[in-house]
Structure 1
């Protein structure tokens, strides 16, 4: 008796073959592959009210992001926040939207990163490794991409959240969604997740190189480099033991040491505060103003926690935070872009993939 066909597999795939030592009537199945699924935060499908509301509802309903009890938070979210914030967020996205591709910069950059990683891995592993990407919120969803990889014959999947530093609200929730997607599979692939890579030499080298290139091309050398990381409620660190704060500070220290700087030339701050709680400090928007008022009229800002430029960097840093600096008397504001698809960054990411594929390929 032949084996019943599992519904996920693509039996019409060009590389479908009958498994070795199988019975004659065994159906052909896709050639076994290893999947590499990269994951980023997410992006709305468009900037209109409904697209923004749908995206923000998914994002702000995540218990990893906002851990208030549902009975307390959901009425506020559904009644107040999602009535107002989609308009403001939509306007912010419109100011940076990639109109030619009709998508957010995060989507464009992630596609570029994945294309470069595909090329690098194909040169090393041929067609035995399949590379794709998903978003934790919005599209393409994690579930849809896990289904696609399984259907293509991936019996092993390496899941790679593109966050250098670990946080429950980023890395952990991305992993949660990946594991939920696996729960829907009858024939589950073996799975691994890539750990945080903030202290990997190749990542620090890529960061340092981006800073050195930016400083070399600046008309005026910045007085200080502000390393601005996405913030978290301080309570997540003190009560939950989230390592994010420590890993951010270590990233800055390693970058400082690689650049050969002293403590007066670089500092760590946190941005994107939301809600009434105290968040990790100092706040970037306040610190840049303090720097201007204290005499540092030329500053640079980079965002080491973001693997790709997005709303928090292109709009918040390069518009809102820049405005705060200039309003306080600042003169020269240099935003150093995220590593994006820079070759050194791609090399660092491929290095992490290669290390975590050990024993699989």
Structure 2
């Protein structure tokens, strides 16, 4: 909507853009480049987040800044380089998020016209949540729907994304009304999109895999004991997917990847479970990662390289990675439906 002069304001009052509803998609983030300093900045921001690593700062920060961040940017940078979109000079997560946002914008515009403004932000790195909230306020958004692209809620993902959003609102003189989209792990259209991706992948294979490994990002078991619902929501996601596919319990297994640090994390660990499956005679497996809305370092490099290697070294023969939902039409339809529900009362 165009800028207008507030009602009853004097004739010399500046015009103010108002009336829009912003919808801000949010994902984890990505380094600006895979070289040392961009990687170090990104990892420092990520690993300094108390939602991610909750050790006391006096104990964690010296270890992080003096030891971990002198070495890890090199190894992480090499991993990013192996999957980098060199044509566009960005990570696959950035490329896919842009494509998702464009399709989602088209879908929302078809429903609501110019009443909505759709954009995306990253919790770590660029574009920052703060910069996108500022842009929406400047564009006249009186309401903002914040949409973390995490199907399952976790403190280290959904909550910290919301933290960044609320912190950005704290710096606005004229705050817009705000809503956040809750976890959508049990949304029927999301489950349908997952099931269709499995059916499509299986339909292209000459032989049906012996088992589908549903790999979720891990977290310390301690977080579960403290009340984080992530593990329960992951388990329900797998159950709903299994029921939609009409499969037996033996056709599917849930695992957890990306363990970091010395303490116990949610188990079974994906990298160990795929090796165990191979040793037990499951020579042909498929892997899907429902907790990720877009393919990223954890799927393209960790699953498709490290975890695949663990499976093959243990005697596995055929490894199929089923891509994330990314910008598939069924995924965009699910995100659109979820956003519509959250916009009820604002836009109908």
Q: What residue is the counterpart of 2:168 in the other structure?
A: 181
Q: Secondary structure at the match of 1:280?
A: coil
The answer for the alignment partner of 2:214 in structure 1 is 227
Q: Distance in 2 between matches of 1:314 and 1:27?
A: 50
| CA apart distance, 1:21 | 3.7
CA apart distance, 1:221:
1.1
Aligned to 2:65: 78
The one of 153, 156, 159 equivalent to 2:143 is 156
Q: TM-score, normalised by structure 2?
A: 0.99
| Mapped partners of 1:166, 1:27: distance in 2 | 43
Q: Map 1:1-361 onto structure 2 (within 5 A).
A: 15-238=2-225, 240-361=226-347
Between Structure 1 and Structure 2, how many residues are aligned? 347
Provide the rounded CA distance (Å) in 1 between the counterparts of 2:85 and 2:333. Answer: 26
What does the per-residue CA deviation read over 1:303-351, in whole Å, with 9 as the maximum and x for residues that have no partner? 0000000000000000000000000000000000000000000000011
Distance across 1 between alignment mates of 2:67 and 2:207: 45
2 CA distance for matches of 1:254 and 1:221?
20
| Cα distance in structure 2, aligned partners of 1:124 and 1:178 | 25
**5+ residue gaps, structure 2:** none
Which residue pairs with 1:10 in the alignment? Answer: none
Structure 1 unaligned residues grouped into runs of 5+: 1-13
TM-fit CA distance, 1:26: 2.2
Cα separation, 2, equivalents of 1:336 and 1:318: 10
Cα distance in 2, alignment partners of residues 358 and 24 from structure 1 = 35
CA apart distance, 1:219:
2.2
3-state SS of paired residue (2:341)? helix
CA distance in 2, matches of 1:251, 1:111: 26
Shift of 1:17: 1.6
TM-score, normalised via structure 1 length: 0.95
1:156-191 deviations in Å (ceiling 9; x for gaps): 000000000000000000000000000000100000
Q: What SS does the aligned partner of 1:116 have?
A: helix
